[in-house]
Amino acid sequence: MTSLKIGLESSSIMPLVAITPLTQSCYETILNRFSHDSLIAHEDSINELKTIFNFRANTFYSNPISRLEKIKDLPRFDGVSLKGSAIKLLLDGQAGGWIGNKNSRVQTFFFSDVIDSINDKIDDPDEFCNKVTMKMKQKIESFNNLLTPINRLLSIESKNILSYWGHHNVSSTLLSESKNISIRILPNCETSEMFEHLPSAIRRDSYHYHMLKKEKVDVILVGDANYKKNICSCQTCIKYACEIVILTDTKRKELLNLI
């Protein structure tokens, strides 16, 4: 049987390294349908993911680490724990956009387990703050390490997946049995300048889909239901047809008895 070339991009790589509502679907699709095929992605998809928790601005609203440092200055109230205050500080950021450096909900999903891991006996705000911010930085480093290819090969093991949206989104089997996935990371085969005229919300998606079509993949695996709206109008994308597999949260809903 001829091996297929399967193209992945940011939205279908993210669920492999951090638990999201698409994680169960992503692993099952790859392992059940494409386990004997070649998986590829481009450098820019990896670079985009590595910017999610890159908080360049040290402002209260954009940087969750800066917000958590405020816990040293907060007045203490009976019945309000340091952990409770930390969660509220995490949520008190920007609400717009899905990207981690713009969305306090995303930030809270990602860092809530870090707060939960702090010893309940720590009651000193300075000590609590130092420990939680250190662990936040360690989790960001772990996330980036999981997305770092070696010799252009990104090796992913399900046992190393990070908590993000919560373990209720995946089956216990997925986490208990290690599953390995390898993705070949290719150099970008196109410059991004030709997509600068597009709205910022779709610019990078269009760029990634364009490069995958240029590689003549047989299948593109995406986690974006609006995929068709983000295809660019160049002749390469219009003329080259391949199968599109869109990940859904159906598996998650089945696990939670929501359907």
For residue 206, give its domain range: 5-51+152-255
As beta bridge partners, residue 244 has 220
Domain match, 27 and 115 both:
no
Do 86 and 180 have their domain in common? no
Q: Is the pLDDT of residue 200 over 90?
A: no
pLDDT value at position 233? 81
Residues 59 and 188: their CA atoms lie apart, in Å, by 33
Domain count, the chain: 2
Is residue 141 helix, strand or coil? helix
Structural tokens at position 182: 């390898």
- Is 40 a domain residue? yes
Tell me the two tokens of residue 181.
């996935």
pLDDT of residue 97: 56
Residue 240's domain is classified under what CATH number? 3.40.50
pLDDT-wise least confident of 28-32, 127-131, 211-215, 227-231: 227-231
Q: Is the pLDDT of residue 58 over 70?
A: yes
Asked whether 236 and 213 are in contact (CB, 8 A), the reply is yes
The answer to the question of residue 59 being in a domain is no
Report yes or no on 224 lying in a domain: yes
With cut-offs at 50, 70 and 90, classify the pLDDT of residue 96. low
Domain C-terminal end among 114, 145, 176:
145
What are the residues facing 32 on neighbouring strands? none
Residues 126, 192 within the same domain: no
Chain mean pLDDT for the chain: 91
- CB-side neighbour CA atoms (13 Å) of 34: 26
Q: How far apart are the first and last CA of the chain?
A: 36
| Percent of the chain residues past pLDDT 70, beyond the cut | 97
Q: Are residues 171 and 141 in the same domain?
A: no
CB-CB contact of 91 with 104 (8 Å)? yes
Lowest mean pLDDT among 10-24, 89-103, 149-163, 243-257: 89-103
Residue 57 lies in a domain: no
pLDDT tops 60 at residue 105: yes
Do 237 and 114 belong to one domain? Answer: no
Give the torsion sign (CA, 122, 127, 131, 132).
Answer: positive
Query: For residue 187, is pLDDT > 90?
Result: yes
Same structural domain, 87 and 165: no
> Cβ distance 132 to 114 under 8 Å?
yes
Whole-number Å distance between alpha carbons of 70 and 92: 12
Distance CA 192, CA 44 (A): 9
Give the end of a domain, one of 145, 161, 191: 145
On whether both 167 and 46 belong to a single domain, the answer is: yes
Closest C-alpha to 207, from 7, 5, 15: 7
Same domain, 94 and 218: no
Considering the entire predicted model, what is its pTM?
0.92
Residue 217 lies in a domain: yes
CA-based radius of gyration for the chain: 20
Given pLDDT bands bounded at 50, 70 and 90, which one contains residue 174? confident
Residue 58 belongs to some domain of the structure: no
Please indicate, yes or no, whether residues 209 and 238 belong to a single structural domain of this protein.
yes
Q: Could you give the CA distance from residue 166 to residue 191 in angstroms, rounded to a whole number? A: 36
Residues 158 and 240 in one domain: yes
Q: What are the structure tokens assigned to 70, written together? A: 């405020």
> Does the pLDDT value for residue 207 go beyond 60?
yes
- Residues 215, 135, single domain; the answer is no
- Single out the residue in 120, 145, 170 at which a domain terminates: 145
Q: Tell me: do 246 and 180 sit in the same domain.
A: yes
For the chain, percent of residues with pLDDT exceeding 90: 68
Residue 98 has pLDDT above 70, yes or no: no
Residue 72 lies in a domain: yes
Q: 214 and 238 in contact (C-beta within 8 Å)?
A: no
